[in-house]
Structure 1
Amino acid sequence: MIDADPDAPAPWLASLFLPGPCRRRRCTASPPGSPPDCAEATAELPLPERRKDMDNTSDSSTSAETRCYWYEHNELLAGGWEPTSQADVSWHLRRTVGSSENSTEVQRADFADSAHDGRPATGLAFADEAFWAPASALGSSTCALSVRSANLVVDVVLTGERHPASTCEQEAVKIAEAAVKGVPEKP
């Protein structure tokens, strides 16, 4: 702040403008309006080629979801792919409906319910909050990270030899960060 006069008939404040990129989604004018499609998202994610025929999306007035899957190639198998995915990344977007609902608050409450049994994932500058799925919920997966940024939740589930336990959480954080950054801004 350079100067201010809060007691003036028209209170005012003068400050310096420091140009630079916004480092957090919350400093944008509005939360995202739609998740990316898999073709847009995969270019930004540090993962190998995805299995395009497994991609799916859903869209409604209250929410939208995109889910992309990565499988290992195996030319010895019918179809040329391993039967289980090595990575699963999904974007869950909550939309505001009517004038009394706040999509970010609804997403925050839903996320808190989901995170109840998880282990907090702290220190992630790209997310408002995050958690690791408990081991009991992983099944055959190596690790699973859920992050929330405003009205968006991104889930990253990694499985198999490509994602060993020793590096799984580091990989999941990098993938989640790229996934959050890959969401188009609301027009």
Structure 2
Amino acid sequence: MAENILRSEVLDPYAQALMSLGKSNDLTDRFAEDVGNILDTLNGSQDLKDFIANPLAKGDLKREVLSQVFGDAVHPFMRNFIMLLVDRRRVMFLEGICQQYQRLYRKLKQAVLAEVTSTVELNDDQKNAIREKVIAMTNANSVEIETKIDPELIGGVIIKVGSQVIDASLRGQLRRITLRLSSSN
């Protein structure tokens, strides 16, 4: 419930505003690239996430740090957007706003996100095979693949697209065999 309120009251309006700015200036693709880089940076630094979320850190200090971190790496409009979030004390939601922008961008581009969990890192051929399978399943124009490693799967992959889950892992197959055996007794 609190997540829905957060999404509707904070994340959606800011992500929509960023999308609107991107559309009116033909920058939706560039903003998507910037948002991806911002999320990569945040996911790579727990210290930065903690700093942004710290209510005791002054706005001027946050502005300075974020300018140094993102500086010329993002479009000037994106940099101004981040500074606006600092000024409005909403920068702690930067990650969620970026994730929401990605959802809006995928919808705009008729793309889907496939979350793939495997035991080892997938090579390009495997990713392309998954991409083609997901396009066939969903009729999407393109597929973004987000990978996670889980050695407990034993082998195979789990693919999640929206609410659909395809469990092609050995762990999942063993679980299904166990269920069949236990129900036949």
Q: Give the TM bin, normalised by the shorter chain.
A: under 0.3
Task: Identify, as 1 or 2, the structure richer in helix.
Answer: 2
Structure with the largest fraction of strand: 1
Higher RCO (C-alpha under 8 Å, 6+ residues apart) = 1
* TM-score, normalising length: structure 2: 0.24
